Amino acid sequence: MGPIPLQRDIVQRPGTVVAGQGDDPWPVARTSLPGIPQASAAARRFVRAALADWTGLGLPTTGEFGERLTDDALTVASELVTNAVVHAGTTVELLLRLEDSAGPEPAALVLEITDHHPARSVRDDRPERPDPAEYGRGLQLVATLAESWGITYRTGLKTVWARLPGDDRYGLPDTPAPDGAARGRGPRPRRIVTPEGGPVLRDDAGWAGGGGLSFLAEASGLLAGQLDEDLVAATAGRLLVPRIADWCAIWLESEGGGPAAAPRLAGVWHRDEARTALLRPALEKEPLRLPGSVGTGPVPIPWPSGATAEPTEGADGTGAALAHRIISGGRTLGAVLVGREGADHIPDEAAALLADFVRRVGLAVGAARAYTRQATISRILQRGLLPSKVAEIPGVSSALVYEPGDDGVVGGDFYDLFPCPGGRWCFVLGDVQGSGPEAAVVTGLARPWLRLLSREGFRVGEVLDRLNRLLLDDAMEAAEAAALMVAAAGGQQIQGGEQNQDGTQSRFLSLLYGELVPLPDGGVRCTVASAGHPLPLLLRPDGSVRPAAEPQVLLGIVEDVAYGSQSFDLTPGDSLLCVTDGVTERRSGRLMFDDGDGLARVLSGCAGLPAAGIAGRIKQAVHTFAERPPDDDLALLVLQVDG
């Protein structure tokens, strides 16, 4: 699909009256974009054209837009439009507004991106990519670049806005402050915004001073915040073009693909959006792989076809191209290729800055790959520790919500719902202390043993007794093995406490375990036991709520303990809610979700809802309790007797 045609509507509208300003209007530009992946590129073209139009009109409030303001506006527009497309999928309205000021406050550029799906919230995560070259990176870049940003909800609409200040950081002149100190962030290369494909004016000497250090500091923060190598490449490309180069391409080696595997082209960026589609095929024909003998220095590369925009005065349709290996930990992870049109070489100042920048790209790619490996292992391990599906109980509707914490490691929550001999159905909700490998060991031990003990016919309390003994025996074996390791190393074993000398934690487990037995005249008989776990709540059709179990000690702590259970009947319309502490201990400042029986109050308002409705209502209440997404595992199970 080619570029999206823009129907730009640049208008004037009155703004708020500022003292000394009178009735001067604010310039506004707006456009409408379809909810497709190409909308991001169209948004960037629109922003460039709008700023160029304002400058060309000689509006008294605009002047000449500096490079930093323009680049930040392009990045913010691209990110917000992409997020709207990914999360909402509706038509996107883009509004660009210049807020002028005659007072002490600097003018500002405001971008507003509106979609038509207000029910979908914007989250700082990594959505599924609609296109390899265009995908959202959440709001991290927006929060970094904008002076302020926010979300406005209206009937049928959701608007995400960002305000970019037009202070001296963005102005073209590098004017010294009255005391002689440098203003803003130091000298920067300069560029005057022109229509797509027009000339770009740079001052490469500025990179040798504070401008280069400022650029690298900003780039380091943005690159380090990405947890995916493709996000690193996308961020790097948008930082390089057009600040340092007219176009850029990045290749990444396939991890574990071996020396024969060709590197893949992770992305191509060109200051002229229309040229990107022409440049990419030319670069895909021969993947760039630099030999190790070239070291970390720049390598001149022949000028590729399709790289040049419409020839400008003094340009011959070619230019200079340099390549750098992307290296991390002594390993080659890919290559960066940049080009400048109409030049026979890239100046030393820009080349030196590029080398420093590529080193930071290498560190970011290496860190992203390490995170990806860990997250992949965790996902595979998590799938192996949880049931592939839960059983369906005759006469009982069930609803399950499970959300592992967003830290890239194996969570400590687990669940199960399975049939047992004698017409029984058993359910489990557990929470292992901690996360990662230690939690995985306990989960891998507890869940199959629970199934085995349940199917052997042990009563609910007896199942917990035997599982407690199993955890204690396993912890003792781990402690003895650790003591032998410490002794072999010449150290001393520390007695007592929750942490062993080798750093392993005692294996504690909170568990809610129960069984359901259908009754001949309808309803079910429920027997349940809680070992250090949030108590299950029983919801009656009239909205009354009460705890359905008694608190008991965690599993894996006390050796001489006998666990008890409570039995009761669930009649048609009754619902049993079981949760982990990711629900009850969800925090908002000093408050927790279950303070003052908060969970029971929310559950009481769910009377009359089906099991899935109750689960959804509780999940929504937990998420909206605090502004930030939950950072702990969240699991809840609803069992409702059919009416």
pLDDT tens per residue, range 460-516: 999 999 999 988 887 666 555 545 554 555 554 433 334 444 444 456 889 999 999
Using pLDDT thresholds of 50, 70 and 90, give the confidence band for residue 259: low
Which of 253-257, 428-432, 508-512, 617-621 bottoms out in mean pLDDT, i.e. has the lowest?
253-257
> Which residue(s) pair with 86 in the sheet?
none
Is the C-alpha dihedral spanning 565, 566, 570, 576 positive or negative? negative
Give the relative orientation of helices 229-240 and 210-224 as an angle to the nearest 10 degrees.
160
Confidence of residue 416 (pLDDT cuts 50, 70, 90): very high
- pLDDT (0 to 100) of residue 408: 52
* pLDDT score of 216: 85
pLDDT at res. 521:
83
Greatest mean pLDDT among 12-21, 396-405, 560-569 lies in 560-569
Q: What is the predicted pLDDT for the residue at 308?
A: 67
Burial (0-12, 13-18, 19+ Cβ within 10 Å), 445: middle
Distance of CA 351 to the CA centre of its chain: 33
Q: 15-67, pLDDT tens digit by residue? A: 222 222 334 456 788 888 887 777 877 888 888 888 887 777 665 444 456 66
CATH number of 1-199: 3.30.565.10
Report the pLDDT averaged over residues 412-421: 89
Q: Are 559 and 598 in contact (CB under 8 A)?
A: no
Q: Give the pLDDT confidence of 91-138 residue by residue, as tens digits.
A: 889 998 887 655 545 568 889 998 887 655 444 443 333 333 333 445
Q: Which residue has the tokens 């007219």?
A: 246
pLDDT tens digits, 153-190: 777 788 888 888 764 443 333 333 333 333 333 333 43
Kindly list the distances between the CA atom of residue 316 and the CA atoms of 243, 271, 302, 350, in Å, as whole numbers in the listed order. 22, 18, 15, 22
Architecture of domain 390-641: 4-Layer Sandwich (3.60)
Mean pLDDT of the chain: 76
Q: Three-state SS string across 39-83, please? A: HHHHHHHHHHHHHHHHHHHCCCCCCCCCHHHHHHHHHHHHHHHHH
Segments making up each domain of the chain, as ranges: 1-199, 202-308+318-385, 390-641
Q: How far is CA 168 from CA 58, 84, 239, 555, in A?
A: 19, 31, 20, 62
Q: Which phi and psi angles does 390 have, rounded to 5°?
A: -105, 150
Helices H, strands E: what count in the chain?
A: 12, 23
CA distance 375 to 384: 14
**199 torsion bin: left (phi>0), alpha (psi -120 to 50), beta (else):** beta
Contact at 8 Å (CB) between 301 and 288? yes
Task: Give the integer Cα–Cα distance in Å for 425 and 271.
Answer: 63
Residue 449: pLDDT over 60: yes
Greatest CA span in the chain, whole angstroms? 92
The CA–CA distances, whole Å, from 622 to 66, 435, 534, 592, 615 equal 44, 21, 15, 10, 11
Kind and range of the H or E run holding 20: none
> For the domain bounded by 202-308+318-385, which CATH number is listed?
3.30.450.40
